[in-house]
């Protein structure tokens, strides 16, 4: 397993700080983990070759590839230090056989087509692709699932960044649907992200936890389920043992009495 021990150390902190609000994200977590299935392989952290990770040209517009190490620089790159109008990014969160079960082809095609159309417009968003097959840690740290469009409104740091997302219908999405989001009132179909997992302003990102948590969750997910069962049963057994031992301590009169009664009853005394 590859996550650092600092992840383990920070987890209780997080839990203490956020006992109940955390609950509401639990379901989301589980959903998300489900989308990864057990298919996340152990060698997923391979970085794309730098040359390939850099921009590819579609029409006159580059599709940037977001990676764990460079996503922030990529998104901030077109932002001028004194800008007051946000630079808009459309990022397609997609995946291959591992994280999208091979069903993201249609939205990818639609997205690529929309980029070609954007290239003919005077004002259009910057575009990027995040492939969760290649970047599972980044996807986990954002709690991003595949088949979604993320929209970033980038302002110069340290201004807060508005991030929106929208699930794309994997079977029906066309390039026009994506163009529509960029059009007037398009934002109305988007959800503003306001969670712990906000890539810039979330509690996790602000406290440097997004990455450790990303590794941690991904690590849990990468453990085969039989190993997980082994671990769980080990822990629950050792906890049971501790409880039983605690109950039998002399300081516990009820338990002592019960134990005494049990001991006092002669074997086979079943009122026959
Ligand atoms: C994805 O799965 C399909 C069908 O199982 C297979 O034909 C294809 O080669 C796979 N693609 C990759 C990149 O492994
Ligand atoms: C979409 O464009 C990206 C970047 O150019 C490319 O990697 C991907 O294969 C394209 N997908 C489809 C379905 O055309
Ligand atoms: C995608 O759209 C089709 C047709 O409108 C619909 O039947 C299907 O339920 C949608 N899928 C999702 C996941 O919303």
State residue 152's pLDDT score: 94
Q: What integer pLDDT is reported at residue 194 of this predicted model?
A: 85
- Ligand lying closest to the C-alpha of residue 177: 3
Q: List, in sequence order, every residue forming a beta bridge with 164; answer none if it has no partner.
A: 151, 192
Determine contact, residues 71/141, Cβ cutoff 8 Å. no
Nearest CA to ligand 1 atom 8: 97
Distance from C-alpha of 146 to C-alpha of 181, rounded to nearest angstrom: 18
Residue 238, burial from CB neighbour count under 10 angstroms (0-12, 13-18, 19+): exposed
What percent of the chain is modeled with pLDDT above 70?
67
From CA 204, how far away is CA 186, in angstroms rounded? 29
Could you tell me if the CB of 171 is within 6 A of ligand 3?
yes
User: Which residue CA neighbors atom 1 of ligand 3 most closely?
Assistant: 169
Kindly give the number of the ligand 1 atom that is closest to the alpha carbon of 96: 13
The pTM is what? 0.65
CA distances from 99 to 4, 34, 131 (A): 23, 10, 9
Mean pLDDT, the chain, integer: 74
For the CA of 65, the closest atom of ligand 2 is 4
Q: Residue range 66-92: average pLDDT?
A: 92
For residue 197, pLDDT over 90 is answered with no
DSSP string of 180-223? HHHSTTGGGGSEEP-STT-TTTSHHHHTT-HHHHHHHHHHHHHS
Q: Which ligand is nearest to the CA of 48?
A: 2
What domains are there in the chain, each with its CATH number? 5-222 (3.40.30.10)
Alpha-carbon gap, residue 217 to 100, rounded angstroms:
18
Give the separation between CA 222 and CA 212, rounded to whole angstroms.
15
């Amino acid at each position: 397993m590859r996550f650092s021990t600092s992840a383990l150390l920070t987890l209780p902190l997080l839990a203490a700080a956020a006992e109940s609000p955390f609950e509401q994200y639990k379901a989301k977590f589980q959903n998300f983990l489900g989308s990864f299935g057990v298919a996340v392989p152990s060698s997923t952290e391979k970085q794309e070759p730098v040359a390939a990770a850099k921009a590819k040209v579609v029409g006159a517009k580059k599709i940037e590839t977001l990676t764990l190490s460079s996503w922030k620089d990529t998104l901030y790159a077109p932002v001028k230090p004194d800008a007051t109008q946000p630079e808009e990014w459309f990022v397609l969160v997609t995946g291959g056989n591992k994280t999208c079960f091979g069903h993201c082809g249609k939205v990818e095609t639609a997205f690529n087509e929309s980029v070609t159309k954007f290239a003919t417009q005077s004002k259009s968003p910057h575009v990027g692709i995040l492939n969760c097959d290649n970047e599972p840690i980044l996807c986990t740290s954002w709690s991003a699932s595949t088949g979604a469009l993320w929209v970033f409104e980038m302002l110069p740091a340290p201004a807060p960044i508005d991030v929106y997302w929208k699930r794309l219908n994997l079977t029906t999405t066309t390039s026009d649907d994506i163009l529509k989001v960029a059009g007037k009132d398009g934002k109305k179909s988007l959800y503003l992200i306001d969670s712990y997992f906000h890539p810039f302003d979330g509690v996790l990102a602000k406290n440097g936890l997004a990455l450790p948590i990303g590794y941690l969750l991904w690590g849990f997910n990468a453990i085969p389920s039989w190993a997980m069962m082994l671990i769980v049963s080990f822990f629950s057994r050792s906890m049971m043992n501790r409880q039983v031992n605690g109950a039998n301590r002399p300081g516990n009169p009820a338990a002592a009495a019960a134990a005494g009664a049990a001991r006092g009853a002669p074997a086979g005394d079943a009122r026959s």
